[in-house]
Structure 1
Amino acid sequence: MSGALPLVLIAALRMLSSWPLRLLHAVGGPLGWLVYLASPTYRRRFRANAAQAGVPWPKAREAIGAAGRMLTELPTLWLRPVQAPLPVAVGWEGGELIEQAQAAGRGLVMLTPHLGCFEAIGQSYAQRYGAGRGAMTVLYRPARKPWLRPLVEQARRRPGLDAAPATLAGVRQMLRALKRGEVVGLLPDQVPPEGLGVWAPFFGKPAYTMTLAARLVQQSGAALLVVWGERLPRGAGYLVRVSDPGALPADPVEAASAINRAMERLILQCPEQYLWGYHRYKQPRRDGPGAAPGEGA
């Protein structure tokens, strides 16, 4: 990519960050359909994953536009000034579960699938609960495009919000945060590198599933909650829904299966906003020696 093109893209993203959410979502819906129609591979995977979950096509097809809205809302979430609050309303349902865990002095692991606006959860948590309770630490992988990395870093590191890289050092960072009684956020329906997961059912089909979430809970004594951010219609904002999935089994495969079942329940609450095009059933990649976050942490 030429040096000028990233500058143009960054300028365009910064311009979009000033648009109201309703307008961004209006643009995002057609964009989602454009991507769907332009990519046969994406289209096949989208339909196959939704069918595997037993979601009727009239509901699943709504997620095509939702995927585009997820993309066009990112400039607002990523690029506003670091100290600026979220420019949209975010409600919370089940927030008392967070308060109960923190009142007990325990750390808290919060899990969310690729459902709704998961990007808004950490920033909203920092605004609502972060003061006096420590930052929320989220696991992330740096963007592949060098020009995009500073933008993602800005989004991940805000007051009350910190980021941990997907490395052994990042896992240790998350464990320290939990032992201080703070919060860690993960997307457990990501496919981890080979050796960092187990095969467990996801909507009835084996999916390589991370073991990190269960290990963090077991090694730190943290509480566990599941959460997702519903995208409200007509750019009205988001509603973050929090629930308790229950205790995890000690066995790694059983724990991963329990987490997958919890993610399935969340997804089926609103299949219209799940990323059905995500390659959930792919083979794990090989990151090579030394790339084993969590092992021996």
Structure 2
Amino acid sequence: MNALLRWMATWPLGWLHVAGSCLGWLSYLLSPTYRRRLRANADLAGLTPAQRREAVTQAGKMAAEAPWLWLRDGTVSPYCRWEGAELIEQAFARGKGLVILTPHLGCFEITARAFAERWGDSKPLTVLYRPSRKAALRELEETARGRPGMATAPATLSGVRQMLRALKRGETIGLLPDQVPPEGMGVWAPFFGREAYTMTLAAKLVRQTGADWLLMWAERLPQGRGYILHVSAPRQPLPGAGEPDSEALQRACARRINEEMERLIMLNPAQYLWGYHRYKTPRPAEAPDAAAAQGSAS
């Protein structure tokens, strides 16, 4: 498998995207579970049939470009065009640390690498990740993500401490806030109208350190022409500035971040990973209905 991935990493990006389009549809047709989940999640957001079909294609492109991103020699900067990079520069000038939030939208894997290539020498980036359960894939991921100017932090208590130290040094961290967190590290909050277990870590880090936070995603251009890296500021700050932490405040912050992610996703909904199991219940966390029932009983 590793040999195949390394061979694919030598392909032109356009070829990978053509192969990925076929791979996306093959996965969709052969997996009833994936097909049902993608349809259900896309329907929640009100996607048209055409957008849903394109989402199948884009998911395949995302999978096929992974070897190119992980194993290819050389930089990705020539394939990237920035929009909103001045917002990052402005955050650096304030010197309070920076939290960048990126949903599973477009080529989310390239955002950290492009950031590290542009600013990593002076402003290192630390990204949160969940190691793969498969040893071979885990080794590939760690090799690919261990780039100059970029460190990785596991989704554990030690990883949280690592990110907190980075922010206190005025550095940058990157998170995927629509990733389902481990049990005990999230709250239930609406996401496209359905309760989703949502991480509290992003908001806690911003509140505890006073760091700035920005939104970023990489739009995948057609025919392998590269990516546009979009950087934007949130429309509203996190609620509860100066208030002590509480479960209610955590839920309000999670709701605000989910709203920002929804806004980004609907800029280009066909490039969101609708097949991601966003609404799963991490065991032994309670589903929202069960939690509500227990609260009523008490």
Amino acid paired to 1:280: R
State the shift of 1:131 in Å.
Answer: 2.3
Deviation track 1:142-178 (CA, whole Å, cap 9, x = no partner) reads 1111111111001111001110011111000001111
Instruction: Indicate whether 1:102 and 2:92 are aligned.
Output: yes
- Partner residue, 2:101: 111
Instruction: Indicate whether 1:150 and 2:148 are aligned.
Output: no
Identity of aligned residues (%): 61
Name segments (4+ residues, structure 1) moved above 3 Å: none
How big is the alpha-carbon RMSD for the aligned residues of Structure 1 and Structure 2?
1.2
Rate the CA distance shift 1:160–1:151 in 2: closer, same or farther, 3 A.
Answer: same
Instruction: Indicate whether 1:131 and 2:121 are aligned.
Output: yes
Amino acid paired to 1:262: E
Give the whole-Å Cα distance in 1 for the aligned partners of 2:8 and 2:114: 20
Which of 29, 32, 43 is equivalent to 2:24?
32
- Partner residue, 1:273: 271
Give the whole-Å Cα distance in 2 for the aligned partners of 1:182 and 1:87: 21
- Partner residue, 1:170: 159
State the shift of 1:80 in Å.
Answer: 2.3
Contact 2:54–2:270 at 8 Å: present in 1 too? yes
Give the whole-Å Cα distance in 2 for the aligned partners of 1:159 and 1:191: 28
Instruction: Indicate whether 1:190 and 2:179 are aligned.
Output: yes
Give the whole-Å Cα distance in 2 for the aligned partners of 1:58 and 1:86: 30
Rate the CA distance shift 1:87–1:241 in 2: closer, same or farther, 3 A.
Answer: closer
Which of 11, 14, 17 is equivalent to 2:9?
17
- Partner residue, 1:50: 42
- Partner residue, 2:230: 241
- Partner residue, 1:221: 210
Q: Which runs of 5+ in 1 are unaligned?
A: 1-8, 288-297
Give the whole-Å Cα distance in 2 for the aligned partners of 1:286 and 1:108: 32
State the shift of 1:216 in Å.
Answer: 0.7
User: SS at 1:248's partner residue?
Assistant: coil
Could you tell me the TM-score, scaled by structure 1's length? 0.91
Deviation track 1:10-36 (CA, whole Å, cap 9, x = no partner) reads 000000111110000010001000000
Contact 2:77–2:117 at 8 Å: present in 1 too? no
Give the whole-Å Cα distance in 2 for the aligned partners of 1:285 and 1:93: 40
State the shift of 1:212 in Å.
Answer: 0.4
Could you tell me the TM-score, scaled by structure 2's length? 0.90
> Which deviates more from structure 2 when the two are superposed, residues 113-122 or residues 50-59?
50-59
Contact 1:193–1:286 at 8 Å: present in 2 too? no
User: SS at 2:11's partner residue?
Assistant: coil
Give the whole-Å Cα distance in 1 for the aligned partners of 2:179 and 2:158: 19
